[in-house]
């Protein structure tokens, strides 16, 4: 559910791995299948995937959610009648706080979280480019051994890892996104410019201090200690990327700022920490975006 670039990338890999996969599209359609095109390293592959019928009532056994963060709750609620305690739901979304939000309303749901460093962008609906190889981490905090279903994922998805400490992986991504995403969105620049433009690299450094302080208070001293180096590495490795928030702003779409810097700000407030830079970025991105 959520057939954007990342959703299509995983749907393609899972289907290719022998796990019959259907796309749940936002709007009902009469079409029963769709051609999914994935480009990588100059080659183009096409495969047909089923489209889930919006009238279907039978339970969904495995649901991968790859919508925008602000759509997750409504999208899952829209198919809640097809989910039961046997349904496995993997949330592969930006930002944090969504599993908790869903859990409060649907405590019976079997939720797992995932994070990815794969790079993909959409060329047209269901036509994507897999631009950068990355890894996938999936887990549920504290669950040391992967459940049986995970073996199928492990076979189908290259470079996939079970992570019993998934919260650390999610916090790491959150910390990086809190810095890279709003700055690139406000300055309309690819990620790499945050390192090459002096005034932007100063902003990165100041923001790193504020984000580290909050990470430490939240119990993630390991992330806090290495944040400047980690952010520098991600900026280097994704130098030509236009961040997801920049793409949202450029396309006039709402951004995920509430689930990224907004989540961090809530944590800061819980710990009585002032976060003026994050506060300002949230306001500026909101004024900038729709
Ligand atoms: O996750 C990203 C995003 O754009 O949302 C980064 C790591 C910043 C890569 O662009």
Q: Do domains 5-164 and 168-289 have the same CATH topology?
A: no
Q: Under a CB-based contact definition with an 8 Å cutoff, are residues 61 and 55 in contact?
A: no
Q: What is the structure's pLDDT at 289?
A: 59
Residue 208 beta carbon below 6 angstroms from any ligand 1 atom: no
**pLDDT exceeds 90 at position 26:** no
Q: For 200-214, what is the mean pLDDT? A: 98
Residue 241 beta carbon below 6 angstroms from any ligand 1 atom: yes
Distance from the alpha carbon of residue 243 to the mean position of ligand 1, in angstroms:
5
**pLDDT exceeds 80 at position 290:** no
29-45 exposure pattern, b = at least 16 Cβ within 10 A, e = fewer: eeeeebebbbbeeeeee
Q: For 151-180, what is the mean pLDDT? A: 96
Q: For 179-191, what is the mean pLDDT? A: 97
Atom index in ligand 1 nearest the CA of residue 191 equals: 10
Binned at pLDDT 50, 70 and 90, residue 288 comes out as confident
Binned at pLDDT 50, 70 and 90, residue 27 comes out as confident
Residue 255 beta carbon below 6 angstroms from any ligand 1 atom: no
Among candidate residues 68, 173, 203, 286, the one labeled active-site is 173
Q: For 205-215, what is the mean pLDDT? A: 98
| Boundaries of every domain in the chain | 5-164, 168-289
Burial degree of 283 (CB within 10 A; 0-12, 13-18, 19+): exposed
Q: For 143-149, what is the mean pLDDT? A: 96
Ligand 1 atom 4: the closest Cα is on which residue?
243
Q: What is the structure's pLDDT at 265?
A: 98
Q: What is the structure's pLDDT at 244?
A: 92
Residue 183 beta carbon below 6 angstroms from any ligand 1 atom: no
Instruction: Report percent pLDDT > 90 for the chain.
Output: 90
Burial degree of 74 (CB within 10 A; 0-12, 13-18, 19+): exposed
Binned at pLDDT 50, 70 and 90, residue 10 comes out as very high
Which CATH code, of 3.40.720.10, 1.10.238.10, 1.10.1040.10, 3.40.50.620, is assigned to 168-289? Answer: 1.10.1040.10
Instruction: List the beta strands (DSSP E) in the chain.
Output: 22-23, 33-40, 43-51, 62-65, 88-91, 110-116, 119-124, 127-132, 136-139, 160-162
Residue 243 beta carbon below 6 angstroms from any ligand 1 atom: yes
Q: For 218-228, what is the mean pLDDT? A: 97
Probe ligand 1: pick from 92, 116, 177, max atoms within 8 Å of CB?
Answer: 177
Which CATH code, of 3.40.50.720, 2.20.25.160, 3.90.1170.50, 1.10.10.10, is assigned to 5-164? Answer: 3.40.50.720
Residue 278 beta carbon below 6 angstroms from any ligand 1 atom: no
Bridge partners of 23? 51
**pLDDT exceeds 70 at position 235:** yes
Q: Which of 53-57, 60-64, 258-262 shows the lowest per-residue confidence on average (mean pLDDT)?
A: 53-57
Distance from C-alpha of 106 to C-alpha of 83, rounded to nearest angstrom: 10
The residue among 263 and 121 whose pLDDT is bigger is 263
Distance from the alpha carbon of residue 199 to the mean position of ligand 1, in angstroms:
20
- Tell me the whole-structure pTM to 2 decimals: 0.94
Query: 42: which DSSP letter?
Result: T
173 labelled catalytic: yes
**Residues 70, 178, 192: CA angle, nearest 5 degrees:** 115
Q: Under a CB-based contact definition with an 8 Å cutoff, are residues 256 and 245 in contact?
A: yes
Integer distance in angstroms from the first to the last C-alpha of the chain? 24
Q: For 44-71, what is the mean pLDDT? A: 94
Residue 177 beta carbon below 6 angstroms from any ligand 1 atom: yes
Ligand 1 atom 6: the closest Cα is on which residue?
243
Distance from the alpha carbon of residue 151 to the mean position of ligand 1, in angstroms:
28
């Amino acid at each position: 559910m959520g057939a954007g670039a990342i959703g299509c990338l995983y749907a393609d890999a899972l289907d290719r791995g022998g796990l019959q996969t259907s796309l749940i599209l936002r709007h009902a359609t009469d079409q029963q299948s769709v051609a999914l095109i994935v480009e990588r390293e100059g080659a183009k592959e096409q495969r047909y995937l089923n489209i889930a019928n919006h009238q279907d009532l039978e339970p969904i056994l495995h649901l991968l959610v790859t919508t925008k963060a602000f759509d997750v709750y409504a999208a899952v609620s829209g198919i809640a009648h097809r989910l039961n305690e046997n349904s496995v739901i993997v949330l592969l979304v930006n930002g944090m706080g969504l599993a908790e939000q869903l859990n409060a309303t649907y405590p019976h749901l079997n939720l797992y979280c995932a994070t990815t460093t794969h790079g993909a962008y959409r060329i047209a609906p269901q036509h994507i480019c897999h631009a950068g190889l990355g890894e996938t981490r999936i887990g549920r905090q504290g669950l040391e051994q992967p459940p049986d279903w995970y073996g199928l994922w492990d076979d189908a998805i290259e470079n996939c890892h079970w992570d019993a400490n998934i919260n650390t992986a999610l916090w790491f991504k959150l910390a990086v996104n809190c810095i890279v995403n709003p700055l690139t969105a406000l300055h309309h620049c690819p990620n790499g410019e945050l390192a090459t433009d002096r005034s932007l690299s100063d902003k990165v450094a100041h923001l790193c201090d504020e984000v580290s302080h909050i990470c430490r208070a939240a119990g993630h001293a390991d992330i806090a200690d290495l944040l400047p180096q980690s952010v520098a590495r991600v900026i280097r490795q994704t130098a030509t990327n236009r961040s997801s928030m920049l793409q949202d702003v450029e396309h006039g779409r709402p951004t995920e700022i509430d689930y990224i810097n907004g989540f961090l700000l809530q944590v800061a407030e819980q710990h009585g920490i002032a976060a003026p830079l994050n506060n300002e970025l949230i306001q500026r991105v909101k004024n900038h975006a729709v």
